[in-house]
Structure 1
Amino acid sequence: MVFKIAPMDNYGERLEAALATQIKVELAERDMDQKDLAAAMGIERATLNRYLKGHRSMPMPIFFKLAESLAVSPQALMQRAEARIAE
Protein backbone atom coordinates (compact mmCIF):
# COMPACT_ATOMS: atom_id res chain seq x y z
CA MET A 1 0.00 0.00 0.00
CA VAL A 2 1.43 3.36 -1.06
CA PHE A 3 0.20 6.70 0.25
CA LYS A 4 1.10 9.90 -1.58
CA ILE A 5 1.59 13.31 0.02
CA ALA A 6 0.26 16.33 -1.87
CA PRO A 7 2.74 19.20 -2.30
CA MET A 8 2.22 22.00 0.21
CA ASP A 9 3.71 25.40 0.79
CA ASN A 10 5.18 25.23 4.27
CA TYR A 11 7.06 22.68 6.30
CA GLY A 12 4.43 22.49 9.06
CA GLU A 13 1.67 21.60 6.61
CA ARG A 14 3.89 19.05 4.87
CA LEU A 15 4.83 17.50 8.21
CA GLU A 16 1.20 17.23 9.32
CA ALA A 17 0.30 15.54 6.02
CA ALA A 18 3.30 13.21 6.28
CA LEU A 19 2.38 12.35 9.86
CA ALA A 20 -1.20 11.51 8.83
CA THR A 21 0.16 9.30 6.06
CA GLN A 22 2.56 7.58 8.44
CA ILE A 23 -0.23 6.93 10.94
CA LYS A 24 -2.25 5.28 8.16
CA VAL A 25 0.75 3.12 7.31
CA GLU A 26 1.21 2.17 10.96
CA LEU A 27 -2.47 1.21 11.13
CA ALA A 28 -2.21 -0.93 7.99
CA GLU A 29 0.90 -2.68 9.33
CA ARG A 30 -1.02 -3.57 12.50
CA ASP A 31 -4.21 -4.59 10.66
CA MET A 32 -6.05 -1.83 12.53
CA ASP A 33 -8.45 0.84 11.34
CA GLN A 34 -9.26 4.31 12.63
CA LYS A 35 -12.08 2.93 14.77
CA ASP A 36 -9.63 0.58 16.55
CA LEU A 37 -7.09 3.34 17.11
CA ALA A 38 -9.68 5.84 18.33
CA ALA A 39 -11.03 3.27 20.80
CA ALA A 40 -7.50 2.55 22.07
CA MET A 41 -6.92 6.29 22.51
CA GLY A 42 -10.27 6.91 24.19
CA ILE A 43 -11.45 9.42 21.57
CA GLU A 44 -14.20 9.44 18.96
CA ARG A 45 -13.37 8.04 15.54
CA ALA A 46 -14.67 11.24 13.94
CA THR A 47 -12.20 13.28 15.99
CA LEU A 48 -9.29 11.08 14.88
CA ASN A 49 -10.49 11.35 11.30
CA ARG A 50 -10.45 15.17 11.50
CA TYR A 51 -6.82 15.03 12.67
CA LEU A 52 -5.81 12.64 9.89
CA LYS A 53 -7.57 14.65 7.19
CA GLY A 54 -5.94 17.88 8.35
CA HIS A 55 -9.20 19.52 9.39
CA ARG A 56 -7.75 20.00 12.90
CA SER A 57 -4.20 20.07 14.18
CA MET A 58 -3.42 17.28 16.61
CA PRO A 59 -2.61 18.48 20.14
CA MET A 60 0.61 17.11 21.58
CA PRO A 61 -1.09 15.09 24.37
CA ILE A 62 -3.22 13.38 21.71
CA PHE A 63 -0.12 12.72 19.58
CA PHE A 64 1.59 11.07 22.56
CA LYS A 65 -1.50 8.96 23.28
CA LEU A 66 -1.68 7.97 19.62
CA ALA A 67 1.95 6.87 19.57
CA GLU A 68 1.43 4.90 22.79
CA SER A 69 -1.65 3.23 21.31
CA LEU A 70 0.40 2.18 18.28
CA ALA A 71 3.23 0.94 20.55
CA VAL A 72 5.75 3.24 18.89
CA SER A 73 7.70 6.09 20.44
CA PRO A 74 6.56 9.60 19.52
CA GLN A 75 10.10 10.29 18.33
CA ALA A 76 10.13 7.27 15.99
CA LEU A 77 6.72 8.18 14.59
CA MET A 78 7.83 11.76 13.92
CA GLN A 79 11.11 10.60 12.35
CA ARG A 80 9.22 8.28 10.00
CA ALA A 81 6.92 11.15 9.03
CA GLU A 82 9.89 13.48 8.43
CA ALA A 83 11.52 10.83 6.22
CA ARG A 84 8.39 10.94 4.03
CA ILE A 85 8.95 14.65 3.39
CA ALA A 86 12.45 13.92 2.11
CA GLU A 87 11.18 11.28 -0.34
Structure 2
Amino acid sequence: MDSHGGAEADLATQIRVEMVRRGMLQQDLADAMGIERATLSRYLMGHRSMTMATFFKVAVALGVAPSALLEPITRPGDSAN
Protein backbone atom coordinates (compact mmCIF):
# COMPACT_ATOMS: atom_id res chain seq x y z
CA MET A 1 0.00 0.00 0.00
CA ASP A 2 1.27 3.48 -0.81
CA SER A 3 2.17 5.45 2.29
CA HIS A 4 2.19 8.73 0.41
CA GLY A 5 -0.50 10.67 -1.31
CA GLY A 6 -1.16 13.59 -3.55
CA ALA A 7 1.63 14.77 -5.80
CA GLU A 8 4.11 12.07 -4.75
CA ALA A 9 1.62 9.30 -5.48
CA ASP A 10 0.80 10.89 -8.84
CA LEU A 11 4.51 11.13 -9.67
CA ALA A 12 5.09 7.47 -8.78
CA THR A 13 2.13 6.47 -10.94
CA GLN A 14 3.34 8.55 -13.89
CA ILE A 15 6.81 6.99 -13.59
CA ARG A 16 5.21 3.54 -13.72
CA VAL A 17 3.16 4.57 -16.77
CA GLU A 18 6.30 5.75 -18.57
CA MET A 19 8.06 2.50 -17.64
CA VAL A 20 5.21 0.49 -19.17
CA ARG A 21 5.30 2.60 -22.33
CA ARG A 22 8.98 1.75 -22.72
CA GLY A 23 8.69 -1.89 -21.69
CA MET A 24 10.96 -1.24 -18.72
CA LEU A 25 11.10 -3.20 -15.51
CA GLN A 26 12.08 -1.60 -12.22
CA GLN A 27 15.52 -3.20 -12.60
CA ASP A 28 15.94 -1.59 -16.03
CA LEU A 29 15.11 1.88 -14.71
CA ALA A 30 17.24 1.42 -11.60
CA ASP A 31 20.20 0.32 -13.75
CA ALA A 32 19.76 3.34 -16.03
CA MET A 33 19.71 5.60 -12.96
CA GLY A 34 22.68 3.92 -11.29
CA ILE A 35 20.73 2.94 -8.17
CA GLU A 36 19.61 -0.32 -6.59
CA ARG A 37 16.22 -1.72 -7.63
CA ALA A 38 15.19 -1.83 -3.96
CA THR A 39 15.86 1.91 -3.67
CA LEU A 40 13.71 2.63 -6.73
CA SER A 41 10.99 0.45 -5.27
CA ARG A 42 11.06 2.44 -2.04
CA TYR A 43 10.61 5.66 -4.04
CA LEU A 44 7.72 4.24 -6.03
CA MET A 45 5.99 2.85 -2.95
CA GLY A 46 6.38 6.09 -1.01
CA HIS A 47 8.66 4.63 1.63
CA ARG A 48 11.36 7.13 0.69
CA SER A 49 11.07 10.70 -0.58
CA MET A 50 12.64 11.49 -3.93
CA THR A 51 15.12 14.37 -4.10
CA MET A 52 15.11 16.76 -7.03
CA ALA A 53 18.37 15.21 -8.23
CA THR A 54 16.73 11.77 -8.25
CA PHE A 55 13.65 13.17 -9.99
CA PHE A 56 15.87 14.48 -12.81
CA LYS A 57 17.73 11.13 -12.98
CA VAL A 58 14.36 9.40 -13.46
CA ALA A 59 13.42 11.75 -16.29
CA VAL A 60 16.78 11.28 -18.03
CA ALA A 61 16.65 7.49 -17.62
CA LEU A 62 13.13 7.41 -19.09
CA GLY A 63 14.08 9.80 -21.88
CA VAL A 64 11.33 12.29 -21.04
CA ALA A 65 11.26 15.93 -20.07
CA PRO A 66 10.87 16.32 -16.31
CA SER A 67 7.62 18.19 -16.95
CA ALA A 68 6.20 15.04 -18.58
CA LEU A 69 6.35 13.32 -15.21
CA LEU A 70 4.30 16.12 -13.66
CA GLU A 71 1.52 16.06 -16.25
CA PRO A 72 -1.87 14.68 -15.27
CA ILE A 73 -1.66 10.92 -15.22
CA THR A 74 -2.03 9.38 -18.66
CA ARG A 75 -2.14 5.64 -19.06
CA PRO A 76 -1.32 3.71 -22.21
CA GLY A 77 -4.46 3.46 -24.30
CA ASP A 78 -6.05 6.64 -22.92
CA SER A 79 -7.66 8.70 -25.67
CA ALA A 80 -5.66 11.75 -24.50
CA ASN A 81 -2.44 10.19 -25.87
Give me the TM-score of the superposition, normalised by structure 1.
0.76
- Residue in 1 aligned with 2:66? 74
Q: Secondary structure at the match of 2:70?
A: helix
- Residue in 2 aligned with 1:32? 24
- Give 1:75 deviation, angstroms: 1.3
- State the alpha-carbon separation in 1 of the partners of residues 22 and 63 from structure 2: 10
- State the alpha-carbon separation in 2 of the partners of residues 75 and 18 from structure 1: 13
- Give 1:57 deviation, angstroms: 0.6
Structure 1 runs (4+) deviating above 3 angstroms are none
- Residue in 1 aligned with 2:6? 14
Are residues 1:46 and 2:38 paired? yes
- State the alpha-carbon separation in 2 of the partners of residues 77 and 25 from structure 1: 9
- Residue in 2 aligned with 1:9? none
- State the alpha-carbon separation in 2 of the partners of residues 39 and 14 from structure 1: 27
Q: Tell me the percent identity.
A: 59
RCO higher in 1 or 2 (8 Å CA, sep ≥ 6)?
Answer: 2
Higher fraction of helix: 1
- State the alpha-carbon separation in 2 of the partners of residues 20 and 76 from structure 1: 12
